[in-house]
Amino acid sequence: MKKFVLLLSMVLLLVMAGCGSNTSTKDDEKDENTTVEKENDTEEGAEEESKEEEEAPNTLLGSIEDFESISIDEYDQENWIQIETEMNIENHAFLDGDRFFINTESDETIAYTKDMKEIWKSEVPFPFRRPNVMTDDYILVNNETDEGEEAFIEALDKETGESVYKIDLKKYNNLSEYYVIDDAIYFAAGLRSEPDDMLFADQFTIHKHNLQDGSLIWEKEIGNLKQNGKDPLYQLAFKDDYFYYVNDDSELIAAEQESGDEIWKQSLPESLRYSIPFFSGDALYILDSDSVFHGYDAETGDPLNEFEFPGRMIGPVAPYPVFTDSTVIYQNLDFDNGDTTLIAVDIEAGEEAWSIDFGQHFIFAAHLINDTLYLLTQVDGEDSSTPTKVLKLNPETGELIEGIELNERMAKASNNQYLYMGNYTNDDYLAFFFEKSAYFIK
């Protein structure tokens, strides 16, 4: 009996030992499997990070401090002109062959010879409210009272300064910028439905007038226009046979230039950065307040694509986005440190093409002239004495073509839309003025 008990005890010990051995083996296998899984996870994570790095290459070309500039005094004299006036320039200064046409702070339009001898002077009764327009034969002057109670557009003969005709708009309270397309003048004119209680017009009419004699061709009531996020407050846009505007219901309207008849209508986001479209090929783009570009077919209004720009920009002097083919060039302002980055994005590919760090320099002009991007930039702050720079870039690559440093500053600050400053294109020139000085550079 004792032998049997002893034998049974040995069997039980062997069984327990075997079970313990099997459990240990399973635990070891589990640990090994866990280790392999962790290694695989680590490898997969590294591969994903590597893929992300490949998908988001560094597009920063460098800093504005890397750009070499020459003094304007060393720049080819055939490619630039500077003029100085006795009074502050307001609104525009035009170069036309061997003459200059300048609007002054004294509500005058003055024609000068190349050596700044006065040819003629025309005084107007009201301040300049919107940019004047130069045509082959006329300087078109747009005046309006401070209260917006009386306004007109007048055509001045470029040779004599005499008034050729005047479009009387005294019944209107607010005018849009006006545009010369072919042989016609287009603009929007607004009325306040409750003049005593309203600051801005809420009932607009689009006008088309004959450029040669000012006669009315057609007018169309369109309701209320949406105010733009940049002066002038009311703007239109033109492409091919259509013109475009955004109404107060955030609807983009396309209409025929020939008749003024509406062609199509497209609903937009409620909050927009700018209430005018930007054109690129057969597409147009609207920028909303979240920095998203919304693309539409310019002919039909059909939605095309949306792209969130990798940055945002505010400030009254910040220029509009510049489009070239499918590339849009715009800015990003770092609100923490005030640094500016110029960014080019291929909207069709949905990826950044190039960028340049501008640091504390703010950009207050961006114009595409003969396939070259012209920029005006200077260090921010009204106390700074650093002069303005003119940069000419290849818009496709961001490569610097030329950098030119002026002898003075041509803007106040990034947050100051100064009355006596402006920039625009004048034929093949980048034109800009500040107080009593104006430049024309190509």
pLDDT tens-place string over residues 382-403? 778 899 999 999 999 999 999 9
Residue 256 lies in a domain: yes
Whether 395 is in a domain gets the answer: yes
Residue 44 located in a structural domain: no
CATH number at residue 399: 2.130.10.10
The predicted pLDDT at position 229 comes to 87
Tens-place pLDDT, residues 95-117? 999 999 999 999 899 999 999 99
9 in any annotated domain:
no
The confidence score (pLDDT) of residue 145 equals 66
pLDDT of amino acid 58: 82
Is 394 part of any domain?
yes
pLDDT of residue 47: 52
Q: Is residue 370 part of a domain?
A: yes
User: Is 362 a domain residue?
Assistant: yes
Q: Round to whole Å and give the CA distance between 108 and 184.
A: 25
pLDDT value for 29: 45
Q: Which stretches of the chain drop beneath a pLDDT of 50?
A: 1-40, 42, 46, 49-54
Can you give the pLDDT at residue 383? 77
Q: Please report whether residue 53 resides in a domain.
A: no
Give the domain range for residue 310: 60-441
Domain count, the chain: 1
Q: What is the pLDDT of residue 10?
A: 42
